[in-house]
Chain A
Amino acid sequence: MVRLEDITLRYRPGAAPALSGLDFALEGGSFTWLMGPSGAGKSSLLKLLHLAILPSEGRLNVMGTAIHAAGRKELPALRRRIGVVFQDFRLLPHLDVLENVALPLRIAGRGEQQLLADATELLRWVGLAERMKDRPEALSGGEQQRVALARAVVARPALLLADEPTSNLDAEQSRRMVNLLRQMHRLGSTVIVATHNEALPDEYPAPILRLEGGRLASHG
């Protein structure tokens, strides 16, 4: 599903690398916890995997496409098969909750009827169906995070990336969020969840990819 070979990422040429020497592969249909202290490079690695940034060095392969060799025109179609729950949610402030969730389907050019039905269903799934007419700013942080999850999975992505998806949730809600991610895993998505909450993997034991200072500390 994803394969990294000696990947280095620098945000600016000549700057200290945020990621260096990363070399690992994740199977299709796997669930992986991405752990490490703040600043370890978890978000940077996820950005690389959903093609928001490109590696400075090394070879990156995502869903069978060699990103380092791919043309810029090939990337949007790949991105549409990847769902992301961003650390800072990134809901669009000028759209209501339902339209935010429907966004990936609009980008994919889905028809109006099916698109609204799917988005509504996903909002019900995360327990926010009654809030669908609200603007994101009217929601609590935890509610926004669930909307972000609904948006990430609405287009049934092959690869689901979640960056600190429980950072704004209490213990009960965290359990619920992990449960939702588990469900997506069971439905066949490859799931990678970044967190610095060491207790979270206890909820759902799975291989852990550990970063420290931008390097791979352990995998397994």
Chain B
Amino acid sequence: MAERLRRARGRDPLGLRRALSGPLLPGLVAAMALLAALAMAGAVAAAAMAARWEGGAAAAMMVQLPANAQTGPAAAALAALPGVAEAIPLERERLAALLRPWLGDAAGLPLPGMIELRLSTLGAGVEALPEAIQAAIPGARVEAHGIWVARLSALARSLEALAWLVLALVGAVAAAMVAVATRAGIAARHATIVILHDMGATDSTIASRFAGRIAFLAGLGAVLGAVLAAPLLYLLGGLAAPLLGNALAMPWGGLAALPPAAALIAWLTAQAAVRLWLRGLP
């Protein structure tokens, strides 16, 4: 037992298990991992919402033709507008069927011509579409539902981008944190590092010791963060389900990627910090 302990110390000549220990670094990384998981889930949810709004029935617009307009030529004119994939005239029978619950069987009623537009995109061009329709068919009325959907979807896309930005920021802050922890470790083992360096230890040997230890601590923290994040994401997914139509899938892959990602960021940062410091020695 004592022998094992002694050998373990031998393999840790810088004494990093003592110099770089305590719950601070893993704790901070756990918090970072939790934030990263939330950002990731946020991005996925925003993307799902945007996709739902952009796709299917939502990506449609109704145009009510003026009384004098001919359905066929109007549909052709609308189909030619940019951003319009298809212009489908609503058949008179279908329209009558739609209105029957409210109006009864009012066969003699003059029903306006209606054309459903399927939009090819919900991009910025959608905002300009009503004007283009007005210009193509003077007196046409545009039902603005599609535009609202376009705005919502643009918002969701922005939220998604923001969430990825937050994720990148969390990674950068984690790297900065690791750099500070590494510097503290270097300060605590300053004399020892100089002795090993003077005995012929290479920069890469010394840097790898630090990087290995710090990557281990960061990975440990990220595991903790991911474990804490899982139930939280499950609850949030449940809250978001009604907006999405179905429950949000748990980002298991993303959660599983957190510890290796944290360890990698920590390893790279510690390597860089130690090597930079060692450049000050001959």
Give A contacts to B, CB under 8 Å.
50-54, 72, 75-82, 84, 90, 92, 94-96, 98-99, 102-104, 106-108, 112, 133
Q: Assess the A78–B282 pair: CB atoms within 8 A.
A: no
Q: Assess the A107–B205 pair: CB atoms within 8 A.
A: yes
* Of B29-37, B41-49, B178-186, B190-198, the one with at least 4 CB within 8 A of chain A: B190-198
Q: A93 to chain B: closest CB distance in Å?
A: 8
Q: A132 to chain B: closest CB distance in Å?
A: 9
Q: A129 to chain B: closest CB distance in Å?
A: 15
A67 (CB) vs chain B CBs: closest residue: B282
B196 (CB) vs chain A CBs: closest residue: A107
Q: Check A95/B198 contact, CB under 8 A, given A72-B282, A133-B6.
A: no
Select one of A75, A82, A90, A99 contacting B282, CB under 8 A: A75
Contacts of B191 in A (CB 8 A): 90
The answer for the CA separation of A106 and B14 in the assembled complex, in Å, is 12
The answer for the CA separation of A142 and B9 in the assembled complex, in Å, is 25
Q: Assess the B200–A112 pair: CB atoms within 8 A.
A: no
Q: Check A76/B282 contact, CB under 8 A, given A94-B15, A95-B10, A106-B13.
A: no
Q: A16 to chain B: closest CB distance in Å?
A: 21
Contacts of B15 in A (CB 8 A): 92, 94-95
Select one of A53, A77, A94 contacting B200, CB under 8 A: A77
- Judged by DSSP, the binding face of B is helix
Q: Is B18 interfacial (CB 8 A cutoff)?
A: yes
Q: Assess the B199–A79 pair: CB atoms within 8 A.
A: yes
Q: Check A52/B282 contact, CB under 8 A, given A84-B198, A92-B13.
A: yes
Q: Check A53/B282 contact, CB under 8 A, given A79-B200, A84-B198, A107-B200.
A: yes
| Number of residues of chain B lying within 8 A (CB) of chain A | 20
The answer for the CA separation of A104 and B200 in the assembled complex, in Å, is 8
- Contacts A50-B198, A77-B200, A103-B199 given; 13 further ones with Cβ under 8 A? A51-B198, A53-B282, A79-B198, A80-B200, A82-B200, A94-B15, A95-B9, A98-B6, A99-B9, A106-B10, A106-B11, A106-B13, A133-B2
Residue pairs across A and B with Cβ atoms less than 8 A apart, 12 shown, are A52-B282, A76-B201, A92-B192, A92-B195, A94-B18, A94-B192, A95-B10, A96-B6, A103-B196, A106-B10, A107-B196, A107-B205
Q: Assess the B202–A103 pair: CB atoms within 8 A.
A: no
Top 7 closest pairs, chain A to chain B, by CB:
A80-B200, A79-B200, A94-B15, A99-B10, A76-B202, A76-B200, A54-B282
Contacts of A76 in B (CB 8 A): 200-202
The answer for the CA separation of A96 and B192 in the assembled complex, in Å, is 14
The answer for the CA separation of A99 and B15 in the assembled complex, in Å, is 12
The answer for the CA separation of A99 and B109 in the assembled complex, in Å, is 101
Q: Is B7 interfacial (CB 8 A cutoff)?
A: yes
The answer for the CA separation of A133 and B7 in the assembled complex, in Å, is 11
Contacts of A54 in B (CB 8 A): 282
A52 (CB) vs chain B CBs: closest residue: B198
A77 (CB) vs chain B CBs: closest residue: B200
Contacts of B11 in A (CB 8 A): 106
Contacts of A53 in B (CB 8 A): 282
The answer for the CA separation of A54 and B281 in the assembled complex, in Å, is 10
B281 (CB) vs chain A CBs: closest residue: A52
The answer for the CA separation of A76 and B205 in the assembled complex, in Å, is 11
B7 (CB) vs chain A CBs: closest residue: A112
Q: B204 to chain A: closest CB distance in Å?
A: 9
Q: B207 to chain A: closest CB distance in Å?
A: 13
Q: Mark B113-138, 1 if CB is under 8 A from A, else 0.
A: 00000000000000000000000000
